[in-house]
Amino acid sequence: MRSVRARAALGATVVVALAVAAAGLGVLLVLRANLTDQAGLQAEVAARETAGQLALDVPYDKLDMGDEEDHPVQVTDEDGRVVAVSKDLDAISGTGTDRVTPQPASVAPEKGDDHGGRDDDGDDGASADPGRGEVSTDEPDFRNGTATVDGDTADYRFASVEATNSAGLTLTVHAGAPLAAEQQAVASVRGAMLAGLPVVLLVVAGVTWLVTRRALRPVEGIRREMAAITASEDLSRRVPEPGSRDEIARLARTTNETLTALEASVDRQRRFVADASHELRSPIASLRTQLEVGAAHPELLDVAGAVADTVRLQVLAADLLLLARLDAGERPGKARLDLGALVREEVSQRIGDRIAVTVSVPESGGLEVTGSRGQLARVIGNLLDNAERHAESSVAVAVRAERGGVVVEVTDDGAGVPEAERERIFERFVRLDDARARDDGGAGLGLAIARDVAVRHGGRLTAAGAGERGARFELWLPGPR
C-alpha cells in the first residue's frame, strides 16, 4: 500500500474499530452485570420472603412462594434433601441439587406441635418457643442455572438464603429470577453495535481519506515542482509555499531554503572552477612559452622564471587540493598542540622573507588547542604571507590566551583593508590589489583557506584595522575539549 492517504485511512479505521470494539465490549459487560445484579436482587427478595415464612414455622405445604413461573423456589434441609418446591417446577440446576420432588424431613414444622410446650414437670423443653426462628442476614450465595416450569426451560439467577425454624432446623431457600430480560437486552445492544460498526468505520475511512487528501495536496505540489526542477536543472525555481502555518508550510520553506543554499553552492562551485581555470592558465601558459622558447633557442631559456612559474603552479595546485578536501567535509584532527610553539616554528622556517617577523609569545603556557597541526600551520603561514605581501616595514605576530581559547594576532603596517571589504577578502580568488603583478599578488586563496580551516576547528578569523595604518588579522581557536 504505497499511498499515504490509503495508509492513513486504514490506520484510522483500524484504531477506531479497536476502540469501538473495546468500548462496546465494556458497555455489554457493564449492562450484563447491572441486569444480572437486578435479577439477583429480585431472587434474593423472593428467597427471603420464603425464608421468613419458614422462620415462622409455616408448614411446607402451606408456603406462599409467590409467582412460581417468575421465581421458582426450592427448599433443602441441612442434609441436602428437598423439602419443598414451588408449583409446576419440573427441573432445576445450579442450586446444588437437581431434585424437584420433596422428601420427608427430619423435623417438619406443624402448627400446634409441642416443640415449644412444657413437659409434665412444668419445666421448659429443650426446643425454643414457637415463632423464635430467624432468617440469616449474611450475603446470599448467587449462582446462575436453569429451571423448567410447566414445561418451559429458561435461565435463572438463583439466590440462596438460610433460615432457622423454632426447632433449630436450618433450611436453605433457593429462589430464582429470570435472566431473559438481561439476555434480550444484551442481544439487542450487541446487534445494534454490530449493525452500526460498519457504518461508523466507513464514515471514519471516508473522512480520513478526504482530510488526508486535502492536507497532502500541497505536498503533491511540492513534489511536482521538485520533479520539474530536477528535470530542468534550474535551481532558481522554488516550490509553492502554502499560507498555513503547519508542518507542510515549514517543509516548503525548508525546501526553498535548501534550494537557495544549493543554488549558491553550485554558483560558488562554478565560479571556483572558472577562477581556478583562469589562475592555472597563466602560469601554465607562461611556463609553456618559456619552454618553447628554450627548445628553439636554448640560450634564451629563462630557467629562474620557469622554476618560479612551476613553484607558483605547485602552490596553487596544493591550495586547490586543500580547498577540495575542506569542501568534501574533511574533519580536522584531534591532536593537542601548543599554538605558541607552532607559531615560533613557522616563523623560524621563513628564511627568505623581505621583512623580519616579530614574535610575542608568553612563557606562562596555557596556549594549547585541539586540531590538525598541518592545517593550523597552513593558516599561520597564509596570514604571514599576506602580511609580508602588504607590509612596508614591519610584521608582528602575538599569541595570547583569551576567552576560553587562544588568539593569534598578525599585524602589518601596510595600506590596510577598507572596512567595507573586510569580509569580501575571505572569499576565494578575491584580490583587492588588482594593480599588483600576479607574481606578487598571489591567487587570492590564502585568506579563504585560513578562514575555512579556522571555522572547521570551531574558531573564527576576522580582519580589522591596526591603528592609523595597517591591517590586523585575529585568529581565535577554542581550548582543548
Tens digit of pLDDT for each residue in 343-359? 999 999 988 888 999 99
- C-alpha 385 chain-centroid distance: 52
- Nearest Cα residue to 192 out of 200, 182, 204: 200
Cα–Cα distance, 477 to 377 (Å, whole number): 13
Q: In this structure, are residues 395 and 402 in contact, taking their beta carbons and an 8 Å threshold?
A: no
Q: What is the pLDDT, as a whole number, of residue 477?
A: 93
- Nearest Cα residue to 146 out of 172, 187, 176: 176
- Nearest Cα residue to 173 out of 164, 161, 189: 161
Contacts of 381 (CB under 8 A, 6+ apart): 346
Q: What is the pLDDT, as a whole number, of residue 121?
A: 43
Q: What is the pLDDT, as a whole number, of residue 150?
A: 85
Cα–Cα distance, 377 to 405 (Å, whole number): 17
Residue 410's φ and ψ, nearest 5 degrees, are: -115, 125
Residue 478's φ and ψ, nearest 5 degrees, are: -70, 155
Cα–Cα distance, 443 to 446 (Å, whole number): 8
Q: What is the pLDDT, as a whole number, of residue 404?
A: 85
Q: What is the pLDDT, as a whole number, of residue 127?
A: 40
Q: What is the pLDDT, as a whole number, of residue 126?
A: 36
Q: In this structure, are residues 165 and 54 in contact, taking their beta carbons and an 8 Å threshold?
A: yes
User: Taking the domains of the chain in order of start, what are their residue ranges?
Assistant: 4-186, 235-330, 331-478
- Nearest Cα residue to 410 out of 456, 373, 379: 379
Q: Is 344 exposed, middle or buried (0-12, 13-18, 19+ CB in 10 A)?
A: middle
- Nearest Cα residue to 75 out of 400, 62, 331: 62
Strands (E), 269-428: 335-338, 357-360, 368-371, 395-402, 405-412
Measured CA distances, 93 to 137, 156, 173, 190, 233 (Å): 25, 9, 14, 27, 86
pLDDT beneath 50: ranges in the chain? 107, 111-131, 434-439
Strands (E), 56-206: 73-76, 82-85, 89-93, 134-135, 141-149, 152-164, 170-178
Q: What is the pLDDT, as a whole number, of residue 281?
A: 79
Cα–Cα distance, 9 to 29 (Å, whole number): 30
- Nearest Cα residue to 433 out of 412, 416, 446: 416
Measured CA distances, 322 to 326, 380, 444, 457 (Å): 6, 15, 14, 15
Q: What is the pLDDT, as a whole number, of residue 162?
A: 92
Q: What is the pLDDT, as a whole number, of residue 112?
A: 44
Q: Can you name the residues that pair with 410 across neighbouring β-strands?
A: 397, 473
DSSP β-ladder status, 82-85 and 73-76: antiparallel
Measured CA distances, 265 to 64, 222, 327, 361 (Å): 101, 22, 10, 39
Q: What is the pLDDT, as a whole number, of residue 398?
A: 94
CATH class of 331-478: alpha beta
| Residue type at 422 in one-letter notation | R
Q: What is the pLDDT, as a whole number, of residue 441?
A: 55
Q: What is the pLDDT, as a whole number, of residue 88?
A: 84
Q: Is 80 exposed, middle or buried (0-12, 13-18, 19+ CB in 10 A)?
A: exposed
CATH of 235-330, one of 1.10.1060, 3.40.50, 1.10.287, 2.50.20: 1.10.287
Q: What is the pLDDT, as a whole number, of residue 329?
A: 76
Q: What is the pLDDT, as a whole number, of residue 316?
A: 81
Cell 427441573 belongs to 91
Q: What is the pLDDT, as a whole number, of residue 427?
A: 86
Q: In this structure, are residues 316 and 449 in contact, taking their beta carbons and an 8 Å threshold?
A: no
Q: What is the pLDDT, as a whole number, of residue 434?
A: 43
Q: What is the pLDDT, as a whole number, of residue 123?
A: 43
Alpha-carbon Rg for the chain, nearest whole angstrom, is 52
CA atoms within 13 A on the CB side of 96: 19
- Nearest Cα residue to 414 out of 345, 343, 467: 467
Say how many C-beta atoms besides its own lie within 10 A of residue 257's C-beta.
11
- Nearest Cα residue to 157 out of 29, 47, 78: 47
Q: What is the pLDDT, as a whole number, of residue 128?
A: 41
Q: In this structure, are residues 428 and 323 in contact, taking their beta carbons and an 8 Å threshold?
A: yes
Cα–Cα distance, 239 to 252 (Å, whole number): 7
DSSP β-ladder status, 335-338 and 170-178: unpaired
